């Protein structure tokens, strides 16, 4: 049946992540009292599931670095993301969090966290405010597109529902973590309606490489800390970074890898593989490494020599054995070069569903500045379903919140001018 209430303008928001919830808040607070009914639909039993899981190890909300550096994290899409952050940037987001009664602090890396490091109290306070503002939540409602008359189609255990709201905001997420609701099933639905979309790709993801059975069985799950990663062949060039990552059974993953994931993924797509370099002693100059290796080791093994002189042991030592020719261990100058720039060839990105986030989605050319679709007037898009990507560190969440706010304001303006 078609559900309609002629006494109110109705807005349907599809997707209950940060972008959808922020759009709901803007609409609920921005409309004249009693004039707008906001209904939020989500396929999952509850909203914010990916948000909660992302906060399990510490809810990183945003970052305090200067705005120029902050914008650079969005790579090729920083021009499109800039207006969203001009209107609702990192400082505004932090103040908004404080408005929910959640205190924040800045970590040593410049990242912003809730004082208790948890996502759940923030989400609870936010949902309480949204419900008090009149937002209605409809769970376990899977969006299936449109019927022949342009009504939104939803499916649930109770059957099918059709609704024809006055405006729609789609905030369906990307294609990663399908079990939490972001499965990318919306992409062909929009493409079929003439919306320009880019294929979804993994972002902030791990990569495969050809470990030997011996190395994989011994070191899978081991973390490499105090290392630096460089990727000279990226376009645009990416400066080497210091950090940590983890050896997996068939490759690598972790924050340092994620920081380079877009450049590595694109290089693999263009060339079939990508070779990064690892600096296993980033706090030592090449000359000092060479000098320490040249010292006599007497009866000690090379492993003991590396440990005593350079503190290279465990998985770092294993990596050298895995990736350096045996004869090069007898040449201190050559071995020093390898320690400072150890080549590692990566062959494929891990599958999209394993990625933290995704690239691709609705192209910005398909949207006006209010994030309304040119092909479908009155329908707006927000969040990770847009064609942008960013590293972890608060950048993903900040742009999701900002785009949700922009879409919500756009829908308000649309309603005011479509009377």
Tell me, what's the pLDDT at 300?
A: 80
Supply the DSSP string of 51-62, one letter for each residue. HHHHTTT----E
Domain containing residue 221: 207-349
Tell me, what's the pLDDT at 170?
A: 98
Dihedrals φ, ψ of 342, to 5°?
-85, 115
Same domain, 217 and 308: yes
Please give the Cα distance from 309 to 301 (Å, whole number).
12
Same domain, 84 and 160: yes
Residues 386 and 68 sit within 8 Å (Cβ to Cβ) = no
Distances (CA, A) of 339 to 223, 224, 292, 316, 330: 17, 14, 12, 9, 14
For the CA atoms of 399, 90, 74, 396, the dihedral, rounded to the nearest 10 degrees, stands at: -50
Dihedrals φ, ψ of 54, to 5°?
-60, -30
Same domain, 59 and 183: yes
Same domain, 30 and 166: yes
Q: Give strand ranges (E) for 223-304.
A: 223-231, 238-248, 251-253, 274-279
217-255 burial code (b ≥16 CB/10 A, e <16): eebeeeebeebbbbbeebeeebebbebebbbbebbbbbb
Question: At which of 349, 373, 404 does a domain end?
Answer: 349
Please give the Cα distance from 396 to 401 (Å, whole number).
9
Structure tokens at 12: 């349907």
- State the Cα angle at 302 between 306 and 335, rounded to 5°: 70
Same domain, 219 and 332: yes
Structure tokens at 20: 């959808």
For the CA atoms of 368, 369, 370, 371, the dihedral, rounded to the nearest 10 degrees, stands at: 60
What total number of domains does the chain contain?
Answer: 2
Same domain, 15 and 153: yes
Q: What is the pLDDT along the chain (419 residues), one digit of tens a residue?
A: 344 455 689 999 999 999 999 999 999 998 655 689 999 999 999 999 989 988 777 899 999 999 999 999 999 999 999 999 999 999 999 999 999 999 999 998 899 999 999 999 999 999 999 999 999 999 999 999 999 999 999 999 999 999 999 999 999 999 988 888 889 999 999 999 999 999 999 999 999 999 999 999 999 999 999 999 999 876 666 778 999 999 999 999 999 999 999 999 999 999 999 999 999 999 999 999 999 888 887 878 888 888 888 889 999 999 999 999 999 998 988 999 999 999 999 999 999 999 999 999 999 999 999 999 999 999 999 999 999 999 999 999 999 999 999 999 999 999 988 76
Question: Which one-letter DSSP state was computed for residue 393?
Answer: T
Same domain, 270 and 238: yes
- In the sheet that holds 9-14, the strands lie side by side as 136-138, 36-41, 9-14, 167-170, 379-381
CATH number at residue 172: 3.50.50.60
Q: Bridge partners of 342? A: 278
Same domain, 57 and 76: yes
Same domain, 316 and 372: no
Same domain, 263 and 216: yes
Please give the Cα distance from 296 to 299 (Å, whole number).
9
- Please state the pTM of the whole predicted model: 0.91
Question: At which of 349, 382, 398 does a domain end?
Answer: 349
Same domain, 391 and 323: no
Alpha helices in 176-285 (DSSP H): 186-191, 213-219, 255-258, 261-271
Same domain, 389 and 300: no
Please give the Cα distance from 3 to 266 (Å, whole number).
45
Please give the Cα distance from 18 to 40 (Å, whole number).
12
Tell me, what's the pLDDT at 330?
A: 87
Please give the Cα distance from 102 to 267 (Å, whole number).
41
Question: At which of 349, 365, 381 does a domain end?
Answer: 349
């Amino acid at each position: 049946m078609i559900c309609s209430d002629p006494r109110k303008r109705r807005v349907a928001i599809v997707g209950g992540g940060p972008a959808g919830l922020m759009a709901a808040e803007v609409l609920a607070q921005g409309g004249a009292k009693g004039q707008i009914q906001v209904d939020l639909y989500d396929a999952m039993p509850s909203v914010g599931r990916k948000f909660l899981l992302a906060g399990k190890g510490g809810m990183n909300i945003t970052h305090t670095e200067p705005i120029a550096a902050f914008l650079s994290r969005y790579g090729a899409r920083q021009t499109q993301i800039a207006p969203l952050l001009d209107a609702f940037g990192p400082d505004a987001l932090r103040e908004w969090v404080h408005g929910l009664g959640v205190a924040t602090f800045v970590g040593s890396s410049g990242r912003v966290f809730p004082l208790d490091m948890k996502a759940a109290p923030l989400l609870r306070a936010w949902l309480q405010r949204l419900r008090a503002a009149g937002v209605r939540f409809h769970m376990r409602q899977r969006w299936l597109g449109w019927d022949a008359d342009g009504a939104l189609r939803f499916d649930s255990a109770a059957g099918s529902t059709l609704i024809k709201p006055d405006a729609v905001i789609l905030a369906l997420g990307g294609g990663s973590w399908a079990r939490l609701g972001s499965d990318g099933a919306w992409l062909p639905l929009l493409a079929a309606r003439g919306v320009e979309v880019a294929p979804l790709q993994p972002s902030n993801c791990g990569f495969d490489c050809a470990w030997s059975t011996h190395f994989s069985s011994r070191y899978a799950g081991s973390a490499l800390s105090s290392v630096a990663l460089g990727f000279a062949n990226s376009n645009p060039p990416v400066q080497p970074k210091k950090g940590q990552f983890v050896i997996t059974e068939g490759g690598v993953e972790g924050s340092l890898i994620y920081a380079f994931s877009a450049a590595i993924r694109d290089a693999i797509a263009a060339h079939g593989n990508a070779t990064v370099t690892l600096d296993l002693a980033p706090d030592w100059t090449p000359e000092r490494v060479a000098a320490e290796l040249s010292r006599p080791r007497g009866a000690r093994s090379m492993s003991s020599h590396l440990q005593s002189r350079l503190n290279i042991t465990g998985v770092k030592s294993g990596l050298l054995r895995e990736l350096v020719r045996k004869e090069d261990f007898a040449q201190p100058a050559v071995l020093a070069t390898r320690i400072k720039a150890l080549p590692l060839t990566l062959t494929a990105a891990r599958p999209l569903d394993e990625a933290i986030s995704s690239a691709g989605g609705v192209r910005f050319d398909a949207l006006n500045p209010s994030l309304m679709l040119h092909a479908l007037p009155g329908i707006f898009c927000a969040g990770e379903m847009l064609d942008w990507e960013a590293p972890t560190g608060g950048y993903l969440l900040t742009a999701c919140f900002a785009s949700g706010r922009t879409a919500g304001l756009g829908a308000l303006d649309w309603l005011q001018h479509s009377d």
